[in-house]
Amino acid sequence: MAEITASLVKALRERTGAGMMECKSALVEAKGDLAEAEVVLRKRGIASAGKKASRATKQGLIGTYIHHGGQLGVMVEINCESDFVARTDDFQELVHDIAMHIAAADPRFIRKEDVTAGVLEKEKEIQKARALAEGKPEKMIEKITEGRMAKFYEEICLLEQPFVKEATLTVGQLVKTKIAKLGENISVARFVRFKVGDSQVAESGSETAAAE
């Protein structure tokens, strides 16, 4: 186990923004491994962020991302609780990263709850038919369909998608790490994705959509 030095604690604080005692505790748990301690803090932050999920988010920013060549663009609204947090580098980085992610991953909805009944039923029918065609036992069809629907949500729901810059995190978990660091609730309100030549603009969201 590596010695938990003041310089190690300082390095973790600079990387995560967590308090000194939190950093020291995480380093002890991670046996002095800086990268593992960062993971420990991330998990703790994600767990505590849920307590702030019911708080109103009336401030925030509208961010944009235009992909190289100008053929693809995204506009996204991310909300927080105060104008102070909206002006921080951390929040602005989050807005930019989510706009960039939307451009790359092309989600259709913000979260699972936003998926329309029609889309949901159609996908369930497809997955049931697929399982039957594969010769799966009748009694297992529902369970198999449920498992495949989780993958479907991951493909089309922004907050369920693996973050393009760090696939170990979902976008929802990324938002929660920022909630933990900045101390305010943060929510993705809506987004619109434009692609040259695509007449069907992908638009999703509502003012009450939160990171869950």
Indicate which CATH number applies to the domain containing 198. Answer: 3.30.479.20
Write out the residue range of the structural domain in which residue 129 sits: 116-154
Q: How many CA atoms lie within 13 A of 136 on its CB side?
A: 15
Q: Which of 146 and 164 is assigned the larger pLDDT?
A: 164
pLDDT digits (tens, 9 = 90+) for 87-127: 999 999 999 999 999 999 999 999 999 999 999 999 989 98
Type of residue found at 43: K
Instruction: Give domain status of residue 1, yes or no.
Output: no
Judge whether 161 lies within some domain. yes
| Cβ-contact 44, 51 below 8 angstroms | no
- Give the H or E element holding residue 210: none
- Counting the structural domains of the chain, the total is 3
Taking CA atoms, 154 is separated from 131, 163, 164, 179, 194, in Å, by 19, 11, 13, 22, 21
Same domain, 128 and 59: no
Kindly give the interhelix angle for 171-182 and 34-49, rounded to the nearest 10 degrees. Answer: 90
Query: Does the residue 185 lie in any domain?
Result: yes
Reply yes or no on whether the pLDDT at 156 is more than 70.
yes
- Say how far apart CA 165 and CA 161 lie, in whole Å: 11
Residue 68 and residue 121 in one domain: no
* Distance between first and last Cα of the chain: 36
Predicted local confidence at residue 63, as pLDDT:
96
The answer on 14 and 43 residing in a single domain is: yes
Query: Do the domain assignments include residue 210?
Result: no
Q: Assess whether 171 and 67 both reside in one domain.
A: yes
Pair (95, 60) in one structural domain: yes
